[in-house]
Every structure is written in structure tokens, then in C-alpha cells.
Structure 1
């Protein structure tokens, strides 16, 4: 029984515009399966057998209210010149500089057209083979507790855990990292960015949901109604969904 991250789910007032931005930013393609949902994925991506993650932008009526999202993506670069070129290109696409209290750091913090923060990292050997998304970063109060939950929840492998950071990655050594970073800022509003998970072939979604609840997850009602996925929160209240395989 295993689960894998498959989607970085981003809420937006205009899913089409934000989806186009992320497609251009990542060099991926856009597909819209239904009104209000814009998928952004690499060519050939199979969400039922994911290698890495894609992006799903979902329309919501509520504007962003958080001072800073608790989850964001960081983009990889291969050289200082690549980092500078990528930052310039993203600004031309509509990204704007963002100040989240980062101070003087070698990476660049930007926001997408609806204010969702992300980082363009300086070249790092760790992320040389991740693809355009180097990592999905989640703020938390206790990285060790997050490591215990998410290491059991996913088939990904725990790479590192300290008082300040927990790092996981696919056991196959492909795609982005999932990193939990200690933050003094607690949750005040629903997350604007979260992960969606998919069971492995042959695994039962409801059995996986029961397993997650036994690990400390709880059901979440956001008014989703009768849908084929299940909304949950982890022990610190980070939202995520378990998708059903067709």
C-alpha cells in the first residue's frame, strides 16, 4: 500500500491565466480537462504512473488573503547565467519580486500573477537532475513530526531530518524533493497550494485513506460535495487530497 505525490494543486481566481504562466515558466504544456481546471504538465506525463509531479490550477472565487503561502515550489537552475535568464524571463511573463523576509540570499523570490510565492534557486548540485521543479517546500512547526507522518504516508524515501528540516524524495531518485522547513508562522487560512496523491495500481483509495487517518490525518470538508477524491489534512493541518484511480 503506497501513495505518490502527483500534483501541485494551486488555487487561483483565473486558472487559465495562472496555468499559462506556469506552463511558460516550466516549459510544459497546458491542457484543460474541464471548466475551472487547467493542467500543466510535461509532454508524455502520465498521472496514473507519475515520475515527478505536474501542476493543476483550480479556479476558486476567493482571493488570496494569506501574507505568505505555507507551501511553494522552488525552481532549479544549472548556472548563474541560467538563473539570471530565468528570473528575467519570468518577470516578462508577469512574475513580480516578493519579500518574505529572506534578506540577502543567493536565490530569488518571486510571485506568480496571483501572488503565489516561488523561488528561483542558484545552481545546486543536489537539484541537478530534478527537472524544472527542484522541490516543493512546506512550512511547518515540527519537521521531525512531519517526517514521521509523511515518511509513512508516501512511498518516497526520507533523505534527511533535523530540528529545522525534513527532506523526502522518490525512492527511484527522480523528480523534485519534498521539504518541510521549520517556520514560526502558524496556519491562519486554508492553504492556497497543496499536494495531491495517487495510490499505486491495485491499491484501494479508501484503504489508503484509512491508513492515513491511522497515522494522524483527518478528514477535511471544504464544501467539495460528492467527488471522487478525498480531502485530508496532515497532523499540522496542511491540506492534501487522495485521488481515485479510474
Structure 2
């Protein structure tokens, strides 16, 4: 049994407006499976596919209060492309953000609801990821996170150190999942979290039990009676295990 990362869940005060921003930013299409939910995926995409990690933007009135511990990095293929993308994103409503990055070759922006993200300078490792280079999670122990998430999913661990760990789909396509060492502890519920999905024919309950044995814990965030299961990883990051598909 195994799961795989299929989408990022992003909370928003206005799902339609924020969905419109990210659809334009990524050049993806936007749909809605229900009121209060904007579903974003590449044009022509057949869900689920490791070629992309989709984006679900879900309405939530709670305000953003701290710097997000999960963010998106966007890929570019040249310095010119980076500059043009930053200019286009700012025209769409993004604003410069200072997260203490100092003098770095990438650009840190915030979307219209204040969610931080990075526009990276050209890096060969991200040349074939699509517009999203990586989903980045701040953590206290990248090695421990790589052990948990490497066992939780069928994704391949590519690099592990005391300060950084990275995984990518077993197919070797799509964005990376990265863990970056940050000393600040998690204090509030994440506005972005990961959604995992078991494969067709797998048993949802058995998969959730397997994740618990790896160190995941049950979490009640007021989800009520839903078909998915809400868990937390060993550092308290919320994630959902969706039904097999």
C-alpha cells in the first residue's frame, strides 16, 4: 500500500478571487466541485497524475496571522523569464514580501491574501517540474520528516541533510516536496496543507492505520463526518488522506 501527494489545500477568505489569481499565475484552469471551493489544475490534465500537484482553494473566514510554514516555489527557465513572471504576478495582485531572505537570487512575493511564495531563479533541477517547482515545508528536523514522508508516500527521497530534504514522485515527474530547517516552532494551524490519496483498490482505513504506525496522529479540526481522514505528521502539520482513486 502507498499514498501519493495529489493536491495542496489552501485556505482563503475569498476562494473565487484567490483561485482566479492562482489560475492566472499558473496558467491553469479553475473549476468548482462545491460552493466555497475552487479547484485548479493544468489545462488538459486528467486527475490524478504525478505530472502535477493540483491546488484546492477552500473558503475559511479565519485571518492569516503568521508567516506560513508551507509555501509554493515557482520555476523559471531564465533570468528574463523570472523577471517577466514577477512583473506579471505583481500586475495580478501579488506584492513583495520580506521573510528575512536578505540578498538572494529568488524573489519573495505574497498573493492577494498574504500567502508567501517564491519565484525562483533558473535552476536545472526544476527544469521539468511545470510551473510549480516545489512545495516547501518549514520544519525542525528535515531528516525525520524525510523518513516519515518517504515511508508515508511512494515518492522517492532524493536528498537529505540536517538542513534540507527533498522528495519527488516515483515517476520522476512533477514538483518536488521539500523540507527546510527553520528553528521557529509551529504555533497555528497551517493555511496550506497536503492532501494524499491512496491508489484505486487500496483500503482507506488500512492506509490510515499504516500512517499512524509511522507516527501520524489523529486530528480534529472540526471536519465532522467526512469521507477523508485528517491527520498530523510528527511535527504537527495537518494533512488529509482522501478516499482511494
Report the TM range for the smaller structure's normalisation. Answer: over 0.9
Q: Distance in 2 between matches of 1:188 and 1:218?
A: 17
Quote the residue 1:5 is aligned against: 5
> Which runs of 5 or more structure 1 residues have no equivalent in the other structure?
none
Does the CA-based 8 Å contact 1:75-1:120 persist in structure 2? yes
Q: Distance in 1 between matches of 2:233 and 2:199?
A: 20
Correspondence 1:173 to 2:172: yes
Q: How does 1:134-145 map to 2 (within 5 A)?
A: 134-145=133-144
Between the two proteins, the alignment pairs up a number of residues equal to 245
Q: How does 1:141-220 map to 2 (within 5 A)?
A: 141-220=140-219
Q: Distance in 2 between matches of 1:45 and 1:203?
A: 23
Q: Deviations over 1:101-141 (max 9, x none)?
A: 00000000000000000000000000000000000000000
Aligned-residue RMSD, C-alpha: 0.9
Q: Distance in 1 between matches of 2:48 and 2:170?
A: 17
Does the CA-based 8 Å contact 2:216-2:232 persist in structure 1? yes
Quote the residue 1:26 is aligned against: 26
Does the CA-based 8 Å contact 1:48-1:245 persist in structure 2? no
Q: Deviations over 1:159-212 (max 9, x none)?
A: 010000111001111000000000011111100001101101111111110000
Quote the residue 1:97 is aligned against: 96
Quote the residue 1:108 is aligned against: 107
Q: Distance in 2 between matches of 1:245 and 1:201?
A: 5
Does the CA-based 8 Å contact 2:50-2:174 persist in structure 1? no
Does the CA-based 8 Å contact 1:12-1:58 persist in structure 2? yes
SS in 1 for 2:146: helix
Quote the residue 1:130 is aligned against: 129
Q: Distance in 2 between matches of 1:48 and 1:61?
A: 29
SS in 2 for 1:185: coil
Q: Distance in 1 between matches of 2:207 and 2:48?
A: 16
Does the CA-based 8 Å contact 2:50-2:171 persist in structure 1? no
Does the CA-based 8 Å contact 2:50-2:173 persist in structure 1? no
Q: CA deviation at 1:245?
A: 3.3
Does the CA-based 8 Å contact 1:72-1:118 persist in structure 2? yes
Quote the residue 1:65 is aligned against: 65
Give the TM-score taking structure 1 as reference length: 0.98
Q: Distance in 1 between matches of 2:201 and 2:96?
A: 45
Quote the residue 2:232 is aligned against: 233
Q: CA deviation at 1:50?
A: 4.3
> Which runs of 5 or more structure 2 residues have no equivalent in the other structure?
none
